[in-house]
Structure 1
């Protein structure tokens, strides 16, 4: 007959074996020095296949997309330049991406979510209100100026608003080579095909006219 102590040991061992052996805060760790993405490949599973090492050059590891100011002449007064694996293939499997956010006076980087990454950023120019909402529906925000840093936990709704007198510039870093961005307003009112109208009227406790008016602002048909 199995002893009580041995039974407890076997139960504990079973629980340990059922627990995940490795927990990652970002993308999986690479198993090679680099894996410059082959963007022409037909398959992609948590990353692109690697270019043959003999085809990789020094230029693959450099990106100049942040050298130019973004065009903020739009309704939001903002421009996002992203450096992810799709535009900077050397980031493939490395678990990192970056962004440049340009904001005109009063410009807004609208409420959005990064489903696969935590975001950290630093204010390079101007004065910016940073805000995010937790899963407990608690809103955290603060006005930041040059040199100050912020962090937004993975998957939480957040925004950046220029509250200064001049333009603002933010650089951000994200712990995924393809963090994704779900802009809430676009997702709700400009999806294709459209979310059923009765879903939106009930969710927002609004009438059809209000929903149709909002949709029209995004170029969507009522």
Structure 2
């Protein structure tokens, strides 16, 4: 594997960008560069290996190799070198040398791009109309607001917050104990009982504090 050959295939190989098969040519060339020496020579991966790299069919790889040769980006290498590594002639792949000395011209800055566009007759929009380069001024820097600060919507202001929960309703005060039972002032009505024995093991609800108690005769106390 050669880092130099891979870098050339990725960044500088002059593959025409207007071709429909440009991506296939680039990925096949990258697969060859992965097997070349630092000078870009003696790359002889098998078609099965290139198919595994590129996810292309062997027929597409053969077409890409033939096209790369027509573009003078690769050429056949010394077959004796391939034979030294692969003894069986029926399993011997073709070897290729990469034309790493050929590079494409790249545009490194926006000024060169503008000059090229003018030479080709294309109009270039002003710099303030390029998407992603400038943003409209906001707030006091914007002429549309007349120097005023942009309004803000503060969601946490008291006037903008809806009423959360209503205040809990005050409970109705308990009626005071009748005085005949053992209940205290803060005891609920259910706890107001009369003890039937001294050991306080038996109790009955106080009839005065529980007016809804029905006596045995069916009337209310």
Structure with the higher fraction of residues in helix conformation: 2
Higher RCO structure (Cα 8 Å, ≥6 apart): 1
Structure with the higher fraction of residues in strand conformation: 1
Q: Greater CA radius of gyration, 1 or 2?
A: 2
TM-score higher than 0.5 here? Answer: no
Pick the TM interval, shorter chain. Answer: under 0.3
